[in-house]
Amino acid sequence: MTFSAPAKVNIFLKITGTREGYHTLRSRFVRLHTLTDTLSFIPSRPTGRRFRWRASVTLPQNNTLTRAYALLCALEREKMERFFDAHTLFIDKKIPAGAGLGGGSSDAATFLKACNKIAGLNLPLKKLAKLGEQIGADVPFFIYDYPSANVEGIGERIQPFEEEPPALTLHTPDTACDTAKVYGYYRAHLLDQARSEAGKAWLKRPSMDLLQELAPDEANDLYPAARAVCPRLTPPTNSRWFLSGSGSTFFKVAL
């Protein structure tokens, strides 16, 4: 049983303030099915109902998947332990870490939805999204699996946007941006620039129009913070490369 976990980019990202210790934002998320991680649930011998997982790259022992497992166990421990007594999870990572592409969030969302189906949990989608909020702000977007969506608040307000998402070219430099450090720099040095109405008019505009009209540093409020935290972060050319999320991936309209 194999499931794909797609990446995403932020067409724009504006910080609108703070709430309960979190930054609030207004953004357009676009799903990328050209870049995915793969989660495979492989039949295996019983070993005492332990959650067993392996990955194609080194992951911390406490990661978005282990947190998703713990949240599901808190609701349906018997079903989760029974299923994973007979299966091992393998994660084939293609989405780079620290790239602003939502790889960890997408993995968690895909895990929640996959377990809901194959372990017979039968939780409603809204419940899975609420669980996802406890893992990361981007997780609910991946739960709903919209090709394109406007995202507000701390990631919990998601409205699908009807459009054909533009074809994009990606460039991920050989450097990773620590999301917490980028947001920390923004809060310490740039928070006074946040505006509650920032990006509001862009919510109605197609992504292609925005990419043709906006300047890259205008589109993403985290751009200067990411550059400060990651000095090696530079686009490959002087053309119109936009930064996704907190970096480090740049993207532009594919020619």
Domain locations along the chain: 2-160, 168-253
8 assigned to active site:
yes
pLDDT at 47 over 80: no
Mean pLDDT within 201-223: 97
Question: What integer pLDDT is reported at residue 255 of this predicted model?
Answer: 80
Q: Where are the alpha helices (DSSP H) in 95-250?
A: 103-118, 125-133, 139-144, 179-189, 207-213, 216-219, 223-229
Question: What integer pLDDT is reported at residue 21 of this predicted model?
Answer: 84
Mean pLDDT within 47-51: 81
Question: What integer pLDDT is reported at residue 206 of this predicted model?
Answer: 98
pLDDT in tens, 25-45: 999 999 998 999 999 999 998
Residue 158, strand partner residues = 151
Question: What integer pLDDT is reported at residue 166 of this predicted model?
Answer: 95
Name the band, by pLDDT with cuts 50, 70 and 90, for residue 48.
confident
Residue type, 210: L
Name the band, by pLDDT with cuts 50, 70 and 90, for residue 20.
confident
pLDDT at 50 over 80: yes
Phi, psi of 156 (to 5 degrees): -85, -20
Mean pLDDT within 186-207: 97
- DSSP assignment of 143-178: HHT-SEEEEEETTTEEEE--S-PPPEEEE--S----
The better pLDDT of the pair 48, 127 is held by 127
Mean pLDDT within 55-69: 95
Encoding tokens for residue 88?
């091992």
Question: What integer pLDDT is reported at residue 161 of this predicted model?
Answer: 98
Mean pLDDT within 118-136: 96
Nearest to residue 247, comparing CAs of 137, 101, 93, 36?
Answer: 101
Mean pLDDT within 202-225: 97
Question: What integer pLDDT is reported at residue 171 of this predicted model?
Answer: 96
Question: What integer pLDDT is reported at residue 199 of this predicted model?
Answer: 97
- pTM: predicted TM-score of the whole model, two decimal places: 0.95
CB environment 205-241: b (16+ within 10 A), e (fewer)? bbbeebbeebebeebbbbbbbbbbbbeebebeeeebb
User: Which residue in 14, 138, 221, 252 is the catalytic one?
Assistant: 138
Q: Could you tell me the fold of the domain covering 2-160?
A: Ribosomal Protein S5; domain 2 (3.30.230)
105 Cβ contact partners less than 8 Å away, ≥ 6 residues apart:
64, 132, 135, 136, 137, 138, 139, 141, 142
